[in-house]
Structure 1
């Protein structure tokens, strides 16, 4: 689990730029998929090209972590078809995550692409660092969350504002599930059956996918 210390300002890296941890819980658990947001390109199995960001360096560090709450699938992904993964911190549970150490500018460009906006402008992170939550809009991934601190840098993620109770749940597609499972294997060492048991029981997937069906997909 992460250290949920008091909110603070983003610490500076060796080059003088602010560094933050981006906490991924969906397809960005997979490093190659995350790289499409940093360097540009189309993820394996996806239907959209991403422009990438201004700073195309890969993350400085990567660590496995987890957050309290639940992952759910909702809305319609333009890249994958089917539901996208979202995070709700309110329900009981545990969400396996992967934290990437990025510059604040890299995080801003990544978030912009997830929000279906054009990258290139720095987000004002002061509100989320001060209060723990900042809503930039009503849409997908437009709610920023400050979920803790690690090695002097804030842990940030983004999700939708409504939570699982207000979401239009939608089942994920096979390519999306494969990408999530690959990320769980990379970051947490999960095998196909463990990943299938987790993914098939998330809201939006439950009732549409069974453990055996997901395991067969991953096998």
Structure 2
């Protein structure tokens, strides 16, 4: 079993400088605010830009960004692929990242060893009864990258409608502009915003959570 895996980002962590706050820790003077120190401050062993077949959308409210957060659908959708930035990191670093993203003390990521490509599992989290915790509670297995496991974090439910803040969009835009290629960044983000309205509207008023997809029940 390898101690390294690919964490695949699609939101503000597209920007390398922003993602590195999780790997090095940061204080309030950081552009992106305070982040607790990780168990290891090693930088990624490799990085890669790619597309993933999961639709990007914005929903909910972020305390850090004061607007909606970015998520990708747990369902595979090759017609609404998303730009992603992969980082090859240690499992302990990924576990730390998952805990910080969910604003909890720790996260058990044992599911990384049982999920098949296209499957997802809800992470066991102690939300302490606070709704701002556990937004990224879904561990989603993506296609392997260079022979190693690849995962992203998203929400197991579609959260309330909202709009991303200009600061948040600016950070994502900076990340996208740092990638090579001829992507029309503004058109890409606008399409995601318009998609968000449709996705959150379709789920508005529904209180049922998405069905957990376990390794024995097929793909979500």
Q: Tell me the TM-score range normalised by the shorter chain.
A: 0.7 to 0.9
Can you list the C-alpha shifts for 1:50-104, whole angstroms capped at 9, x where unaligned? 1131111111100001111211111111111100000114343110001000011
How far did residue 114 of structure 1 move? 0.5
How far did residue 131 of structure 1 move? 8.2
- d(CA) in 1 for partners of 2:122 and 2:7? 17
1:130–1:151 distance in 2 versus 1, CA, 3 Å = closer
Is the CA contact 1:104–1:122 (under 8 Å) kept in the aligned structure 2? Answer: no
Are residues 1:123 and 2:109 paired?
yes
Q: TM-score, normalised by structure 2?
A: 0.75
- Counterpart of 2:84? 97
- Counterpart of 2:214? none
- Counterpart of 2:101? 114
- Counterpart of 1:170? 162
- Counterpart of 2:63? 78
1:179–1:44 distance in 2 versus 1, CA, 3 Å = farther
Are residues 1:196 and 2:186 paired?
yes
Is the CA contact 1:71–1:95 (under 8 Å) kept in the aligned structure 2? Answer: yes
Is the CA contact 1:143–1:158 (under 8 Å) kept in the aligned structure 2? Answer: yes
- Counterpart of 1:88? 73
Gaps (5+ residues) in structure 2?
A: 126-133, 198-220
- d(CA) in 1 for partners of 2:101 and 2:29? 14
1:112–1:146 distance in 2 versus 1, CA, 3 Å = same
Q: TM-score, normalised by structure 1?
A: 0.75
How far did residue 169 of structure 1 move? 2.0
- d(CA) in 2 for partners of 1:25 and 1:43? 25
Question: SS in structure 2 opposite 1:187?
Answer: coil
1:154 to 149, 152, 156: 149
1:156–1:24 distance in 2 versus 1, CA, 3 Å = same
Question: SS in structure 1 opposite 2:186?
Answer: helix
Question: SS in structure 2 opposite 1:79?
Answer: coil
How far did residue 127 of structure 1 move? 3.3
How far did residue 206 of structure 1 move? 6.7
- How many residues align? The count is 185
Question: SS in structure 1 opposite 2:39?
Answer: coil
Are residues 1:24 and 2:9 paired?
yes
- d(CA) in 1 for partners of 2:194 and 2:164? 8
Question: SS in structure 2 opposite 1:128?
Answer: coil
1:201–1:61 distance in 2 versus 1, CA, 3 Å = same
